[in-house]
């Protein structure tokens, strides 16, 4: 199988799993929102955001280093190095997580009073320590599966977690409807997933069979890649989470709860980019190790063109029906987040393009470049958050995220172009945006003209808008059927 088809197959498998899992994750948030008060929902995700931010520092980038070097060690047939790298990452992760747990215990009382401004947050923080440990172990397993390019298992892990959690929450809330039911069920599900998929990992790779000393050069190599990658991830996590953290300080937990509905709803778009990036990272690392730079450039060109073509109409449809989405799935208490939702959707389109560029940059062994880009964007994000959130609340948070994601896309485009000599398809992107404008105009006209119930109206608008979009795409010759056919597996491409 060619590298291009291998990438397409991996993306396809992971995309299917991610779409289903993301849908289940969305249902989980709906179940939580419907069974908790807005303030409880806000507290749950405010604490979870803090924990997720801490998780970033769990291994100083060693998990990402595993994704980078496991494919290389497989090519070089040195399984002992794989075993040593995994064990070393686990030990460092365990030590750092233990230190974080101690800090949470020490500062829990202070945070509950002065930051969350909610006495209940003290107990919630302490219980969340278990989630901190389990999340770290889960992410280690996922990084290992990604490194071995077992994308089906990687996707299955996410799917199984969300499916099990959804079932547990539905059952649990029939007995007791409070925040602690949600927390304890998260702990139970995470525990089952970590234990179950550890045995799956053991069947793929017997870590104890290839035991060897963890040599200094291996440790140095892992840290040399991991630390700059973590610095870049910190920038990304600052953009993703700092707005919620600052919003928690300046505004009410109810507004935090609404924003924590808006953000993940917009972020559902990002699962497309995640599916691509998780697949291409180890693949590009392998190509780079084999010095097949031409194949990398060809792949990047395809990703740049087709990513926007696929994701833009979805974003514009969600933009057009943002009010309906929030009201239908979460209820009238959350519709005040509509405008913030729309700003975030625009920002996510920029983020998807920027993320693809950053993953390619990291995969060819230049994570420091990505780290610089993310820190610049994060710096802009922090400053603008402190300016706009006190004035505009969650709308200000959404605006600053949009600006930061645009900056990431712009800087990463120029950096990637310089690094691997790939042309940025500005003209292709412009034509795609014009096609998107036709979609928006079509939907707007139909919404003003039709006088039917919201759901039938949405269906008619979406079908008509997408049809116009596809027509303009073909008119501009942005899509090449022969090119698409060459990417598909033979079992599918023969039907075209």
Model confidence over 133-156: pLDDT tens digits?
Answer: 998 889 889 888 888 878 778 888
What confidence score (pLDDT) does residue 286 get?
Answer: 60
Give me the mean pLDDT over the 241-268 stretch. 85
Give me the mean pLDDT over the 448-477 stretch. 89
What confidence score (pLDDT) does residue 432 get?
Answer: 93
What confidence score (pLDDT) does residue 291 get?
Answer: 66
Q: 463 lies in a domain?
A: no
Q: Could you tell me the residue range of the domain that residue 217 belongs to?
A: 3-424
C-alpha 397/C-alpha 340 separation (Å) is 8
What confidence score (pLDDT) does residue 492 get?
Answer: 35
Pure H helices in 251-366: 253-267, 270-289, 293-320, 322-330, 338-363
Give me the mean pLDDT over the 382-405 stretch. 92
* Residue among 266, 391, 269, 406 nearest 339 (CA): 266
Q: 448 lies in a domain?
A: no
Neighbours of 475 (CB within 10 A): 11
What confidence score (pLDDT) does residue 491 get?
Answer: 38
Sign of the Cα pseudo-torsion (108, 110, 116, 119, in order): positive
Q: Which 3 state secondary structure label does DSSP give 37?
A: coil
Between residues 156 and 368, the one the model is more confident about: 156
Query: Where does the pLDDT of residue 236 fall: very low under 50, low under 70, confident under 90, or very high at 90 and above?
Result: low
- CA 115 from chain center: how many Å? 26
Is-contact 389 247, C-beta < 8 A? yes
What confidence score (pLDDT) does residue 482 get?
Answer: 67
C-alpha 64/C-alpha 413 separation (Å) is 22
What confidence score (pLDDT) does residue 488 get?
Answer: 47
pLDDT of 224 over the 60 cut: yes
Q: Percentage of residues in the chain with pLDDT exceeding 70?
A: 86
Q: 281 lies in a domain?
A: yes
**Least confident piece of the model among 169-173, 270-274, 420-424, 459-463:** 270-274
Neighbours of 215 (CB within 10 A): 12
pLDDT of 1 over the 70 cut: no
Is-contact 389 246, C-beta < 8 A? yes
Give me the mean pLDDT over the 288-314 stretch. 77
For 76, phi and psi rounded to 5 degrees?
-85, -5
C-alpha 68/C-alpha 71 separation (Å) is 7
Render pLDDT for 309-336 as a digit per residue (tens, 0 to 9). 888 999 999 999 999 888 888 888 889 9
Render pLDDT for 51-100 as a digit per residue (tens, 0 to 9). 877 777 777 778 878 887 888 788 778 888 888 888 888 888 899 889 99
Query: Where does the pLDDT of residue 11 fall: very low under 50, low under 70, confident under 90, or very high at 90 and above?
Result: low
pLDDT of 486 over the 80 cut: no
pLDDT of 192 over the 90 cut: yes
What confidence score (pLDDT) does residue 126 get?
Answer: 94
Q: 88 lies in a domain?
A: yes
Q: 47 lies in a domain?
A: yes
Q: 309 lies in a domain?
A: yes
Q: 456 lies in a domain?
A: no
Number of domains, the chain: 1
Tell me what the pLDDT averaged over the chain comes to.
83
* Residue for token pair 């759901």: 455
C-alpha 460/C-alpha 463 separation (Å) is 5
* Residue among 240, 211, 278, 256 nearest 400 (CA): 240
Q: 441 lies in a domain?
A: no
């Amino acid at each position: 199988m060619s590298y291009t088809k291998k990438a397409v197959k991996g993306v396809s498998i992971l995309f299917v799993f991610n779409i289903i899992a993301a849908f289940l994750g969305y249902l989980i948030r709906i179940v939580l929102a419907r069974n908790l008060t807005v303030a409880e929902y806000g507290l749950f995700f405010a604490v979870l955001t803090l924990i997720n931010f801490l998780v970033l520092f769990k291994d100083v980038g060693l998990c990402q280093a595993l994704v980078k070097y496991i494919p290389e060690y497989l090519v070089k047939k040195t399984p002992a190095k794989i075993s040593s790298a995994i064990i070393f990452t686990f030990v460092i992760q365990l030590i750092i997580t233990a230190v974080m747990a101690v800090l949470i215990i020490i500062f829990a009382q202070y945070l509950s009073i002065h930051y969350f401004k909610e006495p209940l947050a003290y107990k919630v923080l302490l219980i969340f320590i278990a989630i901190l440990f389990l999340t770290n172990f889960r992410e280690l397993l996922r990084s290992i599966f990604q490194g071995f390019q077992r994308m089906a298992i990687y996707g299955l892990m996410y799917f199984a977690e969300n499916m099990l959690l959804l079932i547990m929450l539905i059952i649990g809330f029939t007995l007791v409807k409070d925040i602690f039911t949600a927390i304890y069920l998260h702990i139970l599900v995470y525990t089952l997933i970590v234990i179950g998929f550890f045995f799956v990992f053991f069947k793929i790779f017997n870590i104890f069979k290839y035991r060897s000393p963890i040599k200094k050069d291996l440790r140095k190599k892992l840290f040399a890649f991991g630390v700059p990658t973590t610095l870049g991830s910190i920038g990304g996590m600052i953009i993703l989470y700092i707005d919620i953290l600052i919003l928690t300080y300046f505004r009410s937990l109810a507004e935090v709860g609404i924003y924590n509905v808006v953000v993940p709803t917009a972020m559902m778009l990002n699962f497309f980019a995640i599916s691509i990036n998780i697949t291409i990272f180890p693949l590009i690392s392998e190509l780079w190790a084999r010095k097949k730079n031409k194949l990398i450039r060809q792949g990047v060109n395809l990703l740049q063109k087709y990513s926007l073509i696929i994701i833009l109409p979805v974003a514009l449809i969600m933009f057009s029906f943002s009010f309906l989405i929030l009201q239908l799935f979460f209820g009238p208490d959350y519709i005040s987040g509509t405008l913030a939702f729309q700003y975030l959707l625009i920002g996510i389109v920029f983020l998807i393009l920027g993320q693809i560029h950053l993953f390619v940059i990291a995969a060819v062994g230049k994570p420091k470049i990505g780290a610089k880009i993310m820190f610049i964007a994060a710096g802009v994000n922090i400053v603008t958050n402190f300016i706009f959130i006190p004035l505009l609340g969650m709308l200000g948070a959404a605006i600053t995220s949009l600006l930061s994601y645009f900056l990431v896309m712009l800087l990463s485009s120029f950096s990637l172009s310089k690094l691997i000599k790939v042309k940025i398809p500005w003209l292709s992107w412009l034509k795609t945006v014009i096609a998107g404008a036709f979609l928006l105009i079509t939907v707007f006209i139909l919404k003003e003209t039709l006088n039917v119930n919201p759901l039938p109206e949405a269906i008619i608008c979406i079908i008509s808008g997408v049809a116009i979009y596809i027509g303009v795409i073909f008119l501009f010759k942005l899509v090449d059927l022969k090119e698409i056919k060459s990417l598909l597996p033979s079992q599918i491409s023969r039907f075209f």
